[in-house]
Copies of this chain bind each other. A is one copy, B any other.
Amino acid sequence: MQTLSLPDSGLAPLLPGQRLARGVCRHLRSHDFVSVVELVPTPGLRVDVMALGPKGEIWVVECKSSRADYQSDRKWQGYLDWCDRFFFAVDEAFPVDLLPEGTGLMLADGYDAEILRMGPEGRLAPARRKAVTQGFARHAALRLQGLRDPGAFPG
């Protein structure tokens, strides 16, 4: 898979899907949502972006960089159980007619995104929401500690 370097970021080169995720996370800030990437809500599932809103809303965004990337994903319906709203995020070259109806849609690049269609709301049950919020918090705090203090994770 081709990697693209983003010279303004100071980060390692990002894969195309990671570029979209970066733009999505930036855009979500403008809705007062905070985000993490590549979170595992349950073994066997990994979401590209999970976002937490100001009222505790949980959104999941799957970033699809190409037709092949989308068509190789047989798991996305499994993500619906882990969020209040679900979106795909694609770039402007993506054939959006491929995407199923009844899902949210964001148009993204590495710098920003916009919401073209809201995902329908399927609110999490309270116990699930509590577990997902705690999982989000643990994921974010662990990654943050890993960056702030690499010595905390020897080996």
Contact = CB atoms under 8 A, between A and B. Distances in A.
Interface of A: 8-11, 22, 25-26, 29, 34-36, 52, 56, 111, 130, 133-134, 136-138, 140-145, 147-152
**A contacts with B: majority SS:** helix
Contacts of A137: 34, 52, 133, 136-137, 140
Nearest to A134: B56
Contacts of A36: 141, 144
B11 A148 contact: yes
A34 B149 contact: no
Given A22-B149, A25-B149, A130-B130, 10 more contacts: A9-B150, A22-B152, A29-B145, A34-B138, A34-B145, A35-B145, A137-B140, A140-B141, A140-B144, A147-B148
